[in-house]
Amino acid sequence: MNIVVLSGGLSSERDVSFKSGTMVAKALRNRGHKALVLDVFMGFKDKECDIDDIFENSEEYSVKIENIPTDAPDLKAIKASRADKSESFFGPNVIRICQKADIVFMSLHGGDGESGKVQAALDLFGIKYTGNDYLSSAIAMDKQMTKEFFIRAGVPTPAGVSLKKSKRKGFTFDKYPCIVKPNCGGSSIGVTIVESKEELDAALDAAFEWEDEVVIEQFIKGREFSDGVIEGKALPIIEIAPKQGFYDYKNKYAAGSAVETCPAQISRKATEKMQKYAVAAFKALGLTTYARMDFMMDEKENIYCLEANTLPGMTPTSLLPQEAAVIGMNFEDLCEHLIKVSLKKY
């Protein structure tokens, strides 16, 4: 198959997306596919003749990223560096190249790539892609809306409120400790644990740097877990234990900064309950292909679903691939399986 692995974009997870895309493309090439890693924002600016046979030279023309930087990307600088200075999210020739592919493997994380906007655009152009449809993606990307869907489905989730930047003046909050996070962000960028009222303003400043709406929610002290769901079936649960602090951007992507255990060493009762909630959350959001649910569990084994990731990280050491490996599905198998599952939409 000719496959575009769509990566990059203008989200805070741009660099993470390239790492996922690079590893996915390598796995697909090992299975005989022609996989091109394409930056959705920068596009492909070479000559017309190169586009016509681009999949024959897919490895040569692919974006190449070695490692994920320890700091989040400077999106203003990246936007300013695009040669055509266009305001279009899609870079030069992106749609045309995607139309030549048998399927687009969605390796975008966060921002417009995970919010349903790119999915809707690809639908309009008749382009097949991996992952969920535009509507369920949009719902899952909005953390406060996701909470409402969880509550209606009986999935426990931390209590929280949303706050728009325009309504910040005069806002008060009195339940501490709490978590402040961008409403549609990912990779824990802009996330702060707030212990007191005096720390709230700085936390809001950090979150509002990334978007104009934030969520302030109950802080759950305990252990952190994640559980992938593919076609409505839960994978083994993984536990994430940062060696220092919480599971922030640096702890997510700096080698050796967290201990990840799969299957998680928790009671059978807790395992079954968490997997049940993962599937219920998946269905409540209208997801049909694959996603990963994040959880916290306190010392009394009360379980809280934090959010859903509709395009989870895809490197061999990412959480979803680790979970799949426990049931005998290696990384190459998983990449091909996600394509097979996604094609059922069509």
Domain boundary among 218, 240, 264: 218
213 in the same domain as 308: no
End-to-end CA distance of the chain: 16
pLDDT at 247: 45
Domain with 304, as residue range(s), is: 140-156+221-343
Q: What is the mean pLDDT of residues 225-244?
A: 93
Residue 195 lies inside a defined structural domain of this protein: yes
Q: What is the dihedral of CA 241, 246, 248, 250, to 10 degrees?
A: -70
The answer to whether position 134 is within a domain reads no
Question: Is the confidence at residue 248, as pLDDT, over 50?
Answer: no
Q: What is the mean pLDDT of residues 198-212?
A: 88
Q: Are residues 290 and 304 in the same domain?
A: yes
**CATH number for the domain that contains residue 72:** 3.40.50.20
Q: Is residue 231 part of a domain?
A: yes
Residue 265 within any structural domain of the chain: yes
**Element housing 35 (H / E):** strand 34-39
Q: Is residue 135 part of a domain?
A: no
Of 30 and 196, the structure prediction assigns the larger pLDDT to: 30
CATH number of residue 302's parent domain: 3.30.470.20
In the DSSP assignment, the letter for residue 165 is G
Q: Do residues 281 and 145 share a domain?
A: yes
Q: How many domains in the chain?
A: 3
My answer on whether 121 and 242 are in the same domain is no
Using a pLDDT cut of 70, give the percent of the chain over it: 92
- Residue-level pLDDT at 244: 62
The reported pLDDT for the residue numbered 278 is 98
> Among the three residues 196, 218, 240, which one is the final residue of a domain in this structure?
218
Residues 43 and 145: beta-carbon distance below 8 Å: no
| 152 and 206, same domain (yes or no) | no
**Where a domain ends, among 180, 197, 218?**
218
Are 73 and 40 in contact by the 8 Å Cβ rule? The answer is: no
Q: Rounded to an integer, what is the distance from CA 51 to the centroid of its chain?
A: 29
Could you tell me the pTM of the whole model? 0.89
* 3-class DSSP string for 46-77: CCHHHHHCHHHHHHHHCCCCCCCCCCCCCHHH
Regarding whether 167 and 83 lie in a shared domain, the answer is: no
- CATH code at 194? 3.30.1490.20
Examine the pLDDT at 138 and tell me if it is beyond 60: yes
Question: Does residue 232 lie in a domain region?
Answer: yes
Q: Show the tokens assigned to 335.
A: 């990449």
Task: State whether residue 85 is helix, strand or coil.
Answer: coil
Over range 145-168, report the average pLDDT.
94
Q: Does the pLDDT value for residue 276 go beyond 90?
A: yes
Same domain, residue pair 327 and 283: yes
Residues 244 and 176 in one domain: no
Tell me whether residue 60 is in a domain.
yes
- Quick one: 64 and 206 in the same domain? no
* pLDDT tens, position by position, 6-48: 999 988 788 889 999 999 999 999 999 999 999 999 999 866 5
Are 146 and 294 found together in one domain? yes
79 within domain boundaries? yes
Per-residue pLDDT averaged across 252-258, rounded? 58
Q: Quick one: 58 and 200 in the same domain? A: no
Residues 73 and 8 in one domain: yes
Share of the chain above pLDDT 90, in %: 69
